Structure 1
Amino acid sequence: MTQAAKATVRDRIRAQFAELTQSERKLAQALLEDYPGAGLASITVVAETAGVSTPTVARMVQKLGFKGFPQFHKALLTELQAAVSGPTARRANWVTDAPEGHLLNRFSQAMTQNLEHTFAHIDRVGFDAAVALLSQNDRGLYAVGGRITRALADYAFTHFQAIRPRVTHLTASSATWPHYVLDMEAGDILLLFDIRRYEANLLRLAELAVERGVKVILITDQWTSPVADVAELVFTCWVEIPSAWDSNIATMMLLEALIAATQEALWPETRERYERLDELFSQSRLFRKPPG
């Protein structure tokens, strides 16, 4: 499958935005603000809701690479179905479309494609902006994930805590989150992980944090969590694999890239923290020393 075919409608709109006319940009903005719902009605209703003409809708969808509005509408429906599908439906999809060969080969192929699509869609300016935020060690950094992605948040916390001070990992219980929000200040950073099925409690947490002036960095999947509407920066990772579950491999690689870049941005302060941490490990005798 080509990269263009893999791109979501949201990706296409963002990629073509600079080439759109003023009326087409008005339509594009309306679609992005209520995505994908704003594009799921008839072409007439979509035009009326956005305050543009029907021909404007027809021209724009063609600029996005669709033959016509029906194909555009079908693409949005497919994305919506994929975003809300559970493990059983996801497995049915890959079983039907799975190439011949051993499962290991299919996994390898899927993982490679996920990584390629993920890093092809990462905006370097956005990545550098995220590193700049994560490197502000005079600001609080909070990490949180959902039912599956909380493991990523824990991984992020473990590394960023060694790199810089003032790092907090929100517990798995959303009932405790208001206690963390209470201590959040304007300029703090919330690193949030949310992949399908998107969790309403994560969206509400992000909204509460943004109300306090916190900047949200969202790492999500290619269908994009609703948290994107309030996030300062959004990174989409491709997650589909031959399984009833989605993969966090591409997400983990992006996270590790952010960790490595933040470490470099804060060196030599981070080096001093590492050295002091090693001294504490030695004093506590938590780890066995290597022989010799």
Structure 2
Amino acid sequence: MSNSEQTISDRIQQKLDDLTRAERQLAHSILENYPASGLGPLTALAKDANVSAPTVARMVQKLGYKGYSEFQAELREELKAKAKDPIAKHDAWAEGVPSEHMLNRFTDAVIDNIRHTLGHIDPELFDLACSMVAAPKSRMYIVGGRITHTLAEYLFLHMQVIRPEVVHIQSTSNAWPHYLLDVKEGDVFVIFDMRRYENNTLKLAEMAHKKGAKLILFTDQWRSPIHRLADISFSSRIVVPSAWDSAASTLLLVETMISTVQNLCWGDTKDRAEELEKMFDQTRLFRKFT
């Protein structure tokens, strides 16, 4: 599956309004454990969703597939892509190296990822997520994984200035359960979880959800298992001509969130930023040329 193609999840979400009640029930059942949910026999999928076998056949055709076997074949390809490690991903990419310079090829892939990502973002949901993050009465927790901790730290450093009560949890640390002691109902967790999804991050999300926290998830096109718990999920396209995935699309969403929340909180943010600058002056942390 190339990075320019839609996933089956994309197709289902785009077609939801055109499906019958039974087909929508089936669609939601597939998405609950996607993409593994459709890997068994057609009859098993129908039974799990409590619909008839003809309902499965009809919906598969509405998604653009000739039959259930073609639908399953694409699901298997998605599952392979979801589980690829860096070496396997590089080998798959190197089979057909274009002649253009890497700067152009990589940039083209990133731009395509950004366009596809933005095309699937609901502006109202994005605004709602920003409002949740800006809410002054709720504590904000930010969580990343082995690689995505860099995105989490980037968001954390900005949010520290923008608003009070911001906590950065490192899920790779054995001490992360300590942070959950003070979580209250209505607190907001921003969680980053990309493919090769991490067990620690999932367990943390489950425990935070159980305590009544609101979850905002940044994930990839295949979606972390945490999406089933999240109040709001943002899926970014991440595939580029590299052994590693790209964070560019996700970073764009993060920086847009920072800008939006800053505007929502500007009165308090301005005071906090001015106080921070005074402390920088006292510590002589930065050079001044005037």
CA displacement 1:214-261 (0-9 Å, x = unmatched): 111100111100010111110001111111111111111110001100
Q: How does 1:53-202 map to 2 (within 5 A)?
A: 53-171=52-170, 173-202=172-201
Q: Distance in 2 between matches of 1:207 and 1:249?
A: 27
Q: 1:237 corresponds to which residue?
A: 236
Q: 1:15 corresponds to which residue?
A: 14
> What letter corresponds to residue 235 of structure 1 in structure 2?
F
Q: 1:224 corresponds to which residue?
A: 223
CA displacement 1:47-95 (0-9 Å, x = unmatched): 2222222211111011122222122111111111111110111112211
Q: Distance in 2 between matches of 1:97 and 1:164?
A: 48
Deviation of residue 16 (structure 1)?
1.1
> Which SS does the other structure have where 1:28 is aligned?
helix
Q: Distance in 1 between matches of 2:150 and 2:187?
A: 22
Q: Distance in 1 between matches of 2:99 and 2:179?
A: 49
Deviation of residue 97 (structure 1)?
4.0
**Change in CA separation of 1:55 and 1:152 when aligned onto 2, cut-off 3 Å:** same
Deviation of residue 96 (structure 1)?
2.1
Deviation of residue 178 (structure 1)?
0.9
8 Å contact kept, 2:280–2:286: yes
Q: 1:42 corresponds to which residue?
A: 41
Deviation of residue 125 (structure 1)?
1.4
Q: Distance in 2 between matches of 1:192 and 1:86?
A: 22
8 Å contact kept, 2:146–2:172: no
Q: Distance in 1 between matches of 2:56 and 2:155?
A: 42
Deviation of residue 288 (structure 1)?
1.0
CA displacement 1:118-164 (0-9 Å, x = unmatched): 11111111101100101112211111111110011110100011100
Question: Comparing 152-161 with 263-272, which one deviates more in the overlay?
Answer: 263-272
- Structure 2: gaps (5+ residues): none
Deviation of residue 23 (structure 1)?
1.1
Scaled by the length of structure 2, the TM-score of the pair is: 0.96
> What letter corresponds to residue 240 of structure 1 in structure 2?
V
> Which SS does the other structure have where 1:174 is aligned?
coil
Q: 1:279 corresponds to which residue?
A: 278
Name the count of aligned residue pairs: 290
Deviation of residue 45 (structure 1)?
2.0
8 Å contact kept, 1:216–1:233: yes
CA displacement 1:10-33 (0-9 Å, x = unmatched): 121122112110111121121112
> What letter corresponds to residue 93 of structure 2 in structure 1?
W
8 Å contact kept, 1:239–1:247: yes
Q: Distance in 2 between matches of 1:256 and 1:268?
A: 20
Q: Percent identity?
A: 46
**Change in CA separation of 1:148 and 1:32 when aligned onto 2, cut-off 3 Å:** same
> What letter corresponds to residue 184 of structure 1 in structure 2?
V
Q: Distance in 1 between matches of 2:197 and 2:239?
A: 15
Scaled by the length of structure 1, the TM-score of the pair is: 0.95
8 Å contact kept, 2:130–2:257: yes
8 Å contact kept, 1:98–1:106: no
Q: 2:27 corresponds to which residue?
A: 28
8 Å contact kept, 1:215–1:231: yes
> Which SS does the other structure have where 2:189 is aligned?
strand
